[in-house]
Amino acid sequence: MNPVLKVVDLEVSYYTDAGRAKALDQVNLELNAGEKIGLVGESGSGKSTMALAMMRMIKPPGRIENGQVIVDGTNLTSLSEDEMLRARLSKIAYIPQGAMNSLNPVTRIGAQMIDAIKAHEPTMSKADMKARSIKSLESVELKPEVFKMYAHELSGGMKQRVCIAIGILLEPKVIIADEPTSALDVVTQRQVMETINKVQAEMGAAVILIGHDMGLMAQSMDKVAVMYAGRLVEVSTVKEMFTEPKHPYSQALIRSLPKLDVRGVFQGIPGLAPSLLRLPTGCAFHPRCQEIMDKCKTVRPENQMLASGSRVTCHLYGEGA
């Protein structure tokens, strides 16, 4: 199967007064149509930067240094600004983190859906645009009346659904949802996740879900990608990730999840995430790693595909291990 999303050697740096911070370092990812992947990692590990880089929305002082983002055969990094404007939402859509404030308070929801359609299909008739918007609202289980409403008349969960409805207006091939449930209570979280799953199944789009919640990932994702200090350290299927995690950081993450049957002290991961300005040499995780080898302190591990289908960036695997 031809992957619908292919991220090749993506690199992003932020140029700060204190120096260059490498926020994304040689990130590789492949995603098939209809596949759902969860992207987890500590705060500052580069999850949101990766989402923004895929949308080509990195703003100065940040810059995409290298790499390609190929969606449905089109290389986004080589498009002109105007072409990229048209690609946003129609090829790759982004559902924002702060859905509470992501809607314009002074215009109606309908106007905010129609301007999005109009930007991509200027020749479409007004009635068709409205019909499509209402269809989109209905597919996220909102009433058609929402079309005429303002953001302040909606609850948090409804606003998040509106954002999803806007995201799927043009049936994009790839949907990036950046912590879409983080500001919601668990019941609403579940409803929103079900909505995402439903529209994803209907459209067959690939979904990247960014979040911290491992439980959420286990419930509704096919694959999990773990980020550490700007690198994807492991990409595995959900089953593999929860039963047999490969990378020591993933192993530590899974171990730190509280279990119902074993009561006791929570197991954390010793140490702190490194500053992107002063990354440790070799493998960035080596100061916190329990299986450290001499090689880890000096040699940077390469990303490699294992026989099981997982991709790991660690010296424990592959040749010389």
**Residue ranges in contact with another protein by CB under 8 A:** 55, 57, 85-90, 93-94, 96-98, 100-107, 111, 115-116, 119-120, 150, 152, 163, 166
Cα–Cα distance for residue pair 304/290, rounded to 1 Å: 21
Select from 62, 61, 7, 50 the least CA-distant residue to 179: 50
- CA dist 289 and 208 (Å) reads 27
Angle between helices 126-139 and 109-120 (to 10 degrees): 120
Closest CB to another protein among residues 87, 232: 87
Cβ proximity to another protein, 120 vs 198, nearer residue: 120
- Between residues 57 and 201, which has the closer beta carbon with respect to another protein? 57
H or E element in which residue 50 lies: helix 47-54
In the bound complex, what is the minimum distance in angstroms from residue 289's beta carbon to another protein? Answer: 36
Given a contact cutoff of 8 angstroms between Cβ atoms, the answer to whether 199 and 34 are in contact is: no
Closest CA relative to residue 283, chosen from 312, 253, 251, 309: 312
> Is 140 in contact with 164 (CB distance < 8 Å)?
yes
β-pairing, 223-228 with 231-237?
A: antiparallel
- Alpha carbon dihedral 192, 94, 173, 158, in 10-degree steps, equals 30
Q: Which is nearer to another protein, 63 or 86 (CB)?
A: 86
Closest to another protein by CB, 152 or 278? 152
Nearer to another protein, 7 or 55 (CB): 55
Chain centre to alpha carbon of residue 88: 15
Q: Residue 10 or 116: which CB sits closer to another protein?
A: 116
CB of 123 to another protein, least distance (A): 16
Which has the closest alpha carbon to 55: 169, 203, 165, 208? Answer: 208
User: Least Å distance between CB 48 and another protein?
Assistant: 11
With a CB cutoff of 8 Å and minimum separation 6, the contacts of 250 are 226, 233, 234, 236, 241
**Which CB atom, from 116 or from 226, has the smaller least distance to another protein?**
116
**Minimum distance, C-beta of residue 119 to another protein, in the bound complex (Å):** 5
Q: Give min distance, CB of 59 to another protein, in A.
A: 9
Q: Is 29 helix (H, G, I), strand (E, B) or coil?
A: strand
Q: How far is the CB of 180 from another protein (least distance, A)?
A: 12
What is the closest distance, in whole angstroms, from the C-beta atom of residue 99 to another protein in the complex?
8
CB of 235 to another protein, least distance (A): 25
Omega cis (within 30) before 274: no
Shortest Å, Cβ 108 to another protein: 8
DSSP state of 300: P
Nearer CB in complex with another protein: 89/229: 89
